[in-house]
Structure 1
């Protein structure tokens, strides 16, 4: 596949994922001010604990655990051509989980199992069409371990319980259409390339931890200045 063809595919994949996200999460396609206020109000329910970033920076929480899990999620999404909306959602689950629940110390398999489960749940919420077998989802991330479906399902249930089943999370991607409408005007639809680029920029911020200082709406707004 040429670079032009790949770029076109990525744009289309990102937009399809984004539009699916809006429908799946109950967000209207055209957000009004009241809807945005409701989303901002819900942000804290969909955020890690307030001391999470400080604990990562101080070493109280092992940053390598997050980095390893995130690296696997990104490799899997790249291998399966899963877009940035799903990456942001999986990372949201990962950070919220790690902020309140400890993994077994020094267990690389537990880190990967958590990453697999977070991505699997995000894929289900986003209704992304990927191979149904859990093993296919895992192979996309160049895994060190491959888990049977029953173990992934058990970890998914743990993640669900820890997150209190709040999976329809408000992420920075949720605000893209609203902030772009402020730039382009409500009567002009932003191009697929602009939306795709905005989503990719937002997803790229999750590679580090500095973005955790900001609320989802603040990140969504600031990324429109790229």
Structure 2
């Protein structure tokens, strides 16, 4: 029977989450599965080069912007792409196919109305087929072990370091005089190198500073920048097509 209460009932503290160290240790052990290898160009890939990844990433960003995807779709799709390239050597002729599949999967996870396979084929100027897209989707899922829920922000840092850096940045922003002692405590808890932790904290603070300064701009200035950016976008029949340099990577 449901009875109305006169006082507000609040959630109680869960002793398992707050007092059992196994929770933290399990999180630290599982976060590595979402981290792409930073050396896969040298250790795994024999045909794909960093500039090729950059060209495909730019094309993927244009597609996501044109389709007004949720903001997490693009970075999440790049996480899939890097994780896949960290474990399997891929010829350059299939790199754009991989990028299309990664957007396909990320939009399925984050969008109410995900990108359609047919639309992605059109965005590649029909350089891939629906059958290739579907076959590649299964291969990517297999190599990622069907684990698609990744923390895609600050991709070079594990989630634990981002969390620790955020705590340090918050303390610094509040002018709390506990900087070094806080870093030492976080180092002991997470076993993260202090220099790496400080570097992550500095990057978080720089990102916050640049974003806040951008938001502080006048609406007129921001509108001018948006119009200038849109005027330089390349369109064909209302859709961004495959840039010439993306096609060039197959040669």
* TM-score under structure 2 length normalisation: 0.49
Is 1:45 aligned with 2:33? yes
The worse-fitting range, judged by mean Cα deviation, of 44-53 and 110-119 is 44-53
Q: Structure 2: which 5+ runs fail to align? A: 1-17, 172-195, 211-251
Distance 1:130 1:61, change over 3 A: closer
The answer as to whether partners of 2:41 and 2:48 remain within 8 angstroms in 1 is: no
Match of 1:163 in 2: 144
Q: How does 1:17-56 map to 2 (within 5 A)?
A: 41-52=29-40
Q: Which is helix-richer, 1 or 2? A: 1
User: Which whole-Å CA distance do the structure 1 matches of 2:27 and 2:73 have between them?
Assistant: 18
**What residue ranges of structure 1 are gaps of 5+ in the alignment?**
1-31, 185-213
Deviation at 1:54, TM superposition (A): 5.8
Contact 2:101-2:136 at 8 Å conserved across structures? yes
Q: Distance in 2 between matches of 1:162 and 1:118?
A: 12
CA-based RMSD: 4.1
Structure-1 residue corresponding to 2:153 = 172
Tell me the equivalent position of 1:137.
120
Task: Count matched residues.
Answer: 158
Deviations 1:91-118 (A, max 9, x none): 001111112212225x2xx121111100
* Pair 1:135–1:60, CA change in 2 (3 A): closer
SS of equivalent to 2:72: helix
Give the TM-score, by structure 1 length: 0.54
**Among 108, 130, 140, the residue aligned to 1:149:** 130
